[in-house]
Structure 1
Amino acid sequence: MKPVSASSSATRLTGLAPVVGPTSRVLILGSFPGAASLAAGQYYAHRQNRFWPIVGEVIGRDLVAMAYADRLAALLDAGLALWDVYAACEREGSLDSAIRLAEPNDFAALRARAPRLARICHNGRTSGKFAEHWRALGFDVRVLPSTSPANASIPHAVKLAAWRDALDLSTLAG
């Protein structure tokens, strides 16, 4: 993957560490953490983001009611991994459209830590721009409706159905 470049006076931001284990089968990739997530040091920390409620419904756990560390453990127990396309970028605010001078994460290192990864699920279109990269490497790839509050026009039921299908480990080979 190639860095995104453009001139900017925005602050240089660094993303979060991956949540991954040796039994992870599905990697959920966002673009880059929003301001609330960076401030909290937690993925999908914005209260209106639907990530935790949707994934919780899919895996049958009330992730919203759990402490953050327990949420991450529940993801790993379900065979899921979590990370972002970009390791660092410049951005004002939280919108993906404001990302500048983006530096991709080191996915070779991640793949070594999660040898059973078989599917990449992109949380939204910005992350999904890299879908062909993953397909070329032999992964099953899904570009899902974003759970961001900026994507509130898509009904919850539609998002849930797409996420439920994508996170179904029984559909993975191997």
Structure 2
Amino acid sequence: MAEIIDGSENVSVQGILNWILLLAIFSIITVIGNSIGFSHPIGDSLIGMAILSLITLAGVWMERYLPFNISSIIYISVMGIVLAFPGMPTSDILLYYVSKVELLSIVTVFLAYVGIGMGKSWNEFKALGGKAVIITVLVIASTYLGSAIVAHCVLVMTGVPA
């Protein structure tokens, strides 16, 4: 699937269609997981994912065609913030539908995609040796433990019983 994303500076019509296909597949899988795991209505989740996908497409387009050397993630983040900013006419509807998409649903699909990408370069990973595997496991475990500690501290500070 990595070849679906066109990383060239100029995005062709085929490249944009590939992005749309990738985001559509990503959105459908996320909506299914969101519905099963969090009991959110499929229609609302689908609209929320469509909004997120449109913002993503616009950010990718802006990165490629605007004359500034800015990453698409910055464009995507700024657009999301501006569109959701209180007082903007898009704020209420955007926040309603996007709140119907749980972050965990998105992350699960994203990590599966990353896993597929890693699986394609598994021979390169194996060439790094056993030390790389140990370091990878330690980094993942440390990141998880660090995130859990930070989340616990924030919950305690905000008064949520732990």
Normalised by the size of structure 2, how large is the TM-score? 0.30
User: Greater Rg, structure 1 or structure 2?
Assistant: 2
> Higher strand share goes to which structure?
1
> Higher helix share goes to which structure?
2
Q: Which structure exhibits the higher relative contact order, with contacts defined as CA atoms closer than 8 Å and separated by 6 or more residues?
A: 1
Normalised by the size of structure 1, how large is the TM-score? 0.29
